[in-house]
Structures are given as C-alpha cells and as structure tokens.
C-alpha cells in the first residue's frame, strides 16, 4: 500500500480523494487545505486526519503527494514535495508563469512528478492514440481537436484563470503534442469574445481557433469555446495517409427519440467530472505505478511545453502575428 497526502480539498481534490480511497494499492493518509472547514469535511468523509503540509512531508510513511490546490501554489508545493523525496501527482497547469516554471527545471530533473493532463487517460483518446500508433490508418497528417465547455465560468474565475489559452486550451496543447508526436514550431490563433462581454472587459477571450504546425508540416486546429450551448463537446479527429480516426463525444445515454421532427439522441455528458471520471481513475492508477518506481507518463517538461504553446497562442491572438517557436 502506498500512503498519500492530498493537498487541496476543492472540487478536483474531492475527485482525487475518492479515487485514491477506492484504489486497492493506495491509502489516503491525510488531507491538507488552508481552509480548515474544507479540509475537515473531506477528511471526515474518508475517515482520515487533517494535516499541515510540512507535517505530511515529514511523515516518512507517506510515499506520494497529490496536489490539487489552487494553481498559484502548484509549483511551490510540487518543489517542496519532490525535495522531501515524495512522488508527486500535480494537477495541471504546472504554473501560469512560464519563466517561473522554467526556473524550476533543475529541481525537477529526474523527479517522480506526474502532471495531471487527464485527457491522456481518457479511454476514448487512449484508443485513438493506440490506433494511430498501430499504423492501421497510416501516417498522421493533421489533427482537429474540439474542446468546448458547456457554459462559461463566472467572471470572477476568468480574472484569476490565466486566460482561455493557459486555463482551458492548455489541455488541447498537451493533447496536440501527445498525438502529433512532434513539437509544434509555429502557432497562430484568433481569439474573440462572443459569449459573454464581461469576459472581454476582463481582457480575456471566450472563443478561439488555434493552428499549430510542426517541423515536418503536420497541421493541427484547436477549437475552443467557453460555451457550447449543448454540453461538454470533446472530440478529436486525426487525419492520416490511410484514413481517419475519430474519438467522439460520450452521450449521457444511448437513448434516441424519433418523432416527426427527426431523430434526437441524448445529450452529451455535460460536465468534465462526468466526462472524464474514468480518466481521473486511470490517472490515480498511474500514480500508483509512479510510486512503485515507474517513470511518469506526463512530466515536468510536458507541463512547460504546454505552457509555451499556450503563451504563444495568447501572444498570437493579441498581436495578430504568427509566433514561431525555437
């Protein structure tokens, strides 16, 4: 059994706590959160104590730390946990500031840091990547990643989010790198505020289209909107020399209703915690492997590279110019 400490008792912390508690090889040992009530409530639910961060790090029985705190604390907590010899499973993004994230490179060198880009663990996208790797559709040429949220977040969230590209599209930048299997060298993005004018007043965009290009000429389009109006729209199409592979949306049920107006399928799963429930479970599985000595499937460098792309896209949308990456 690997004992873990959970840092952060918010929405995503609760998911990871439940998955850790249900995992046969993992024992949730304690919950850490500066908001005592939140920490106590989640700790109670799992029958574990509340602890301080330093206290958790000092406990030699604790093998791993799951960091699901607010984004601005990810880097600091990860560094301290790695320095204390713990394996770390940190929620994305590694940080909102690229320079700051880069400055930690030497400390993360070879460290067992697993970064939570959950889509890589979604069964649908895993199956898509396996198909591409098997070569049955030939050589990958271009990619269409669609990631539309069901409804925009409250403006107060937008203000501290880091902006659409770093907060939301960062998942898609990681997905693009993972599927393209090659680093993008050119980024161009259009951003627009079409959903909620308050988001625009806060200096952010709510709708974007980003094109990436790799050195070998592979193309990738990322489509983002903060509000689809029809559920959580999560799809990938991969066009290759011998055909196309597609992972589609997951519906709430397979129900279809037929009437004079036509055929209507059920809604898309509307919420990321539903759509990616299995991905979060598989992430925790992988963290058990990491605590057992496996190399993390997604590490520090992936976090930095996704941030590089997010900054490039934000810069392109702002300046109207193409951003070329070294």
Residues that bind other proteins (CB under 8 A): 137-138, 141-142, 144, 148, 186, 188, 190, 192-195, 207-209, 211, 213, 217-219, 221, 223, 225, 227-230, 233, 239-244, 320-322
Smallest distance, other proteins to C-beta of residue 158, A: 17
Per DSSP, what are the bridge partners of residue 237?
144, 246
Residue 242 C-beta: closest distance to other proteins, Å:
5
Distance of alpha carbon 32 from alpha carbon 175, whole angstroms: 30
Separation between Cα atoms, residue 192 and residue 214, nearest integer Å: 25
Nearer to other proteins, 75 or 220 (CB): 220
Q: Which of 275, 171, 301, 282 is nearest to 223 (CA)?
A: 171
Shortest Å distance, C-beta 257 to other proteins: 17
Q: How far is the CB of 9 from other proteins (least distance, A)?
A: 35
Query: Nearest distance from residue 127's CB to other proteins, in Å?
Result: 10
Nearest approach, Cβ of residue 252 and other proteins (Å): 16
**Among residues 79 and 221, whose Cβ is nearest to other proteins?**
221
DSSP-derived secondary structure for 6-42: EE--SHHHHHHHHHHHH-TTEEEEEEE-SSHHHHHHH
How far is residue 166's CA from residue 314's CA, in Å, rounded to a whole number?
A: 8
- Tokens linked to 311: 């900054």
The residue among 186 and 278 lying less far from other proteins, judged by its C-beta, is 186
Considering the complex, state which of residue 203 and residue 229 has its C-beta at the smaller distance from other proteins: 229
Contact 215, 180 (CB under 8 A): no
Nearer to other proteins, 130 or 322 (CB): 322
CA-nearest of 275, 193, 190 to 232 is: 275
- Between 77 and 232, whose beta carbon lies closer to other proteins? 232
């Amino acid at each position: 059994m690997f004992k873990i400490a959970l840092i952060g008792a918010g929405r995503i912390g609760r998911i990871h706590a439940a998955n850790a508690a249900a995992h046969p090889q993992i024992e949730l040992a304690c919950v850490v959160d500066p908001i005592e009530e939140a920490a106590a409530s989640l700790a109670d639910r799992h029958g574990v104590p509340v602890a301080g961060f330093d206290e958790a790090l000092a406990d030699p029985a604790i093998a791993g730390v799951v960091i699901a705190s607010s984004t601005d604390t990810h880097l600091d907590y990860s560094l301290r946990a790695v320095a204390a010899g713990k394996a770390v499973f940190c929620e994305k993004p590694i940080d909102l500031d690229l320079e700051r994230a880069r400055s930690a490179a030497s400390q993360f060198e070879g460290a067992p840091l697993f970064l939570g880009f959950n889509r890589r663990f979604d069964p649908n996208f895993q199956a898509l990547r396996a198909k591409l790797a098997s070569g049955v559709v030939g050589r990958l040429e271009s990619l269409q990643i669609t990631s539309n949220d069901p409804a925009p977040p409250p403006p107060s969230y937008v203000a501290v989010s880091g902006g659409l590209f770093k907060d939301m599209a960062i998942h898609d930048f990681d997905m693009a790198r993972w599927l393209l299997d090659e680093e993008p060298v050119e980024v161009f993005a259009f951003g627009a505020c079409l959903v909620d004018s308050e988001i625009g007043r806060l200096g952010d965009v709510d709708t974007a289209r980003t094109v990436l290009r790799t050195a070998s000429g592979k193309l990738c389009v990322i489509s983002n909107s903060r509000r689809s109006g029809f559920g959580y729209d999560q799809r990938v199409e991969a066009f290759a020399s011998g055909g196309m592979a597609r992972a589609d949306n997951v519906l709430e049920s397979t129900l279809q209703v037929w009437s004079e107006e036509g055929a209507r399928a059920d809604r898309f799963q509307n919420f990321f915690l539903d759509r990616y429930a299995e991905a979060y479970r598989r992430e925790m599985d992988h963290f058990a492997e990491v605590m057992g000595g496996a190399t993390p499937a997604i590490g520090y460098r992936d976090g930095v590279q996704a941030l590089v792309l997010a900054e490039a896209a934000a810069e392109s949308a702002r300046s109207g110019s193409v951003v070329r990456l070294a």
